[in-house]
Amino acid sequence: MSAAAASWWDSARIYCEPRILGILVLGFASGLPLALTGSTLTLRLAEAGVEIAAIGFFAWVGLAYGWKFLWSPLVDQMRLPLLTRRLGRRRGWLLLVQLALAIAIAALGAISPEAGLFWVAALAVLVAFLSATQDIVIDAFRVELVSVERQGAAAAMAVIGYRLAMFASGAGALAIAEWYGWTVAYATMAALLATAISVTLLLPEPQPVVDPGDGAKPSRWKKRLKQAVVAPFSEFFGRQAPLVTALILSFIVFYKLGDALLGAVTSPLYVGLGFAKTEIAAIVKSWGLLAVLAGGVLGGVLVRRLGLLPALWLCGLAQMLSNLAFLALYWSGRDQFVLALTITAENVTGGMGTTAFVAYLSSLCNVQFTATQYALLSSLMAQARTFLAGFAGILQTALGWPGFILLTTAAAVPGLVLIRLLERTLRSEVPRAAAQHP
């Protein structure tokens, strides 16, 4: 084996390490509840005869994911009686939330929409809140558990696990519901969470950077409140020059904007071209999942081999060009082969970009405030992307498919430009720092 081949093999072998495999399972736990309060739930409501106007309001269930940074300081700093002492800060929180989440998912499946829509909505909100809280802990756990050089691989496995869970709670839950009913389907999803609970118990607790204290003395609460709420934000925004911070936050908003705009309305495109639901399920959902997984692994390898910013730029360029494949799909019409090629290009590059992006967000976090800072950054990404993608339908109607696809391609350009600006700015900061501290 050549030296180059051996080097690439060493990079790939990281994915077999126990901690990295554990992150795969935690990524699965993170993605499992999303469809159960989203597309799977809305299909169940429609099947029960709930009015479309009422179903639309269930989209607000997902607001918890965008606002999780509000209670992330509590999760980051608060010690749990008994659990923190026995399992540690991260694993104690994770076990508590996962147990509550499994119970809430099973309860959501047991409540019939015909019997009480209010209770279905309340339980869906509870599942989303617990799921968002689980994301806070898992993100911090992942960043703290592995070394810096393994963050790319950890991000890749988290994305893979998340995608597998989306498939299980989407297509898997629908199949189970078809055969055995919705109660069994949701109970099965709750049982799958037991796998993640066992991994939570098996993985080691990350080495704490700071002692959060026992929280027993009232006189310490003011100091602890400042440590939990103020310090993470002041540390992040005071870490570098305001220009660098502005560039970083702008990059977070714009990096996957082109993908978000196009992804918001691809289903109407497939239907408009005449593809049957079975064709969409087989090519877009099943084959598309494999393409995303392959892209996730490739993105992790690129981060390790090239470094964060070069990998982000390469993955972002690939994401941008993949949008043009939808032009070929639009012009070819109902062609399964062209659809498969389009989905392959879109999902492989999307998986690459997501992995590199998650690794970059992880690198921005100070390990003293991992949960709060990661929740802030990921919430900024999610809120901005969701808000801007909401205009996709209006833009497509105004421009038509060719013009809209070209617009989504152009929307990826600001993210690529911002990467280059970040590279140049950070390079210029190094000599300046060296001059200040000879």
What angle, rounded to 10 degrees, do the helices at 18-36 and 89-110 form?
A: 30
Q: Which of 123-132, 158-167, 279-288 has the lowest mean pLDDT?
A: 279-288
Q: If residue 86 lies in a helix (H) or strand (E), which one and from where to where?
A: helix 83-87
Return the half-sphere exposure (C-beta side, CA atoms, 13 A cut-off) of residue 257: 22
Same CATH fold, 241-438 and 17-223?
A: yes
Confidence of residue 319 (pLDDT cuts 50, 70, 90): very high
Using one digit for the tens of pLDDT, what is the confidence trace for 96-137?
999 999 999 999 999 888 777 889 989 999 999 999 999 888
Using one digit for the tens of pLDDT, what is the confidence trace for 64-78?
777 776 777 777 777
Task: Give the pair of three-digit tokens for residue 285.
Answer: 């959902």
- CA-to-CA dists, residue 256 to 20, 194, 222, 296, angstroms: 25, 33, 39, 15
Higher pLDDT residue, 223 or 425?
A: 425
CA distance 311 to 302: 6
CA distance 303 to 151: 9
- CA-to-CA dists, residue 394 to 169, 261, 384, 388, 397, angstroms: 30, 11, 17, 11, 5
CA distance 174 to 169: 8
- Among 418, 398, 419, residue whose Cα is nearest residue 407: 398
Compute the average pLDDT of residues 256-272.
74
Task: Output the pLDDT for position 314.
Answer: 92
CA distance 227 to 76: 10
Q: If residue 298 lies in a helix (H) or strand (E), which one and from where to where?
A: helix 288-306
Using one digit for the tens of pLDDT, what is the confidence trace for 335-353?
999 999 999 999 999 989 8
- Among 417, 351, 410, 408, residue whose Cα is nearest residue 27: 351
Instruction: Tell me the fold of 241-438.
Output: Growth Hormone; Chain: A; (1.20.1250)
Higher pLDDT residue, 279 or 220?
A: 279
For the chain, the domains span: 17-223, 241-438
Checking if the pLDDT of 266 tops 60, the result is yes
What is the reported pTM?
0.61
Q: Which CATH class is domain 17-223?
A: mainly alpha
Checking if the pLDDT of 434 tops 50, the result is no
Higher pLDDT residue, 75 or 207?
A: 75
Mean pLDDT of the chain: 78
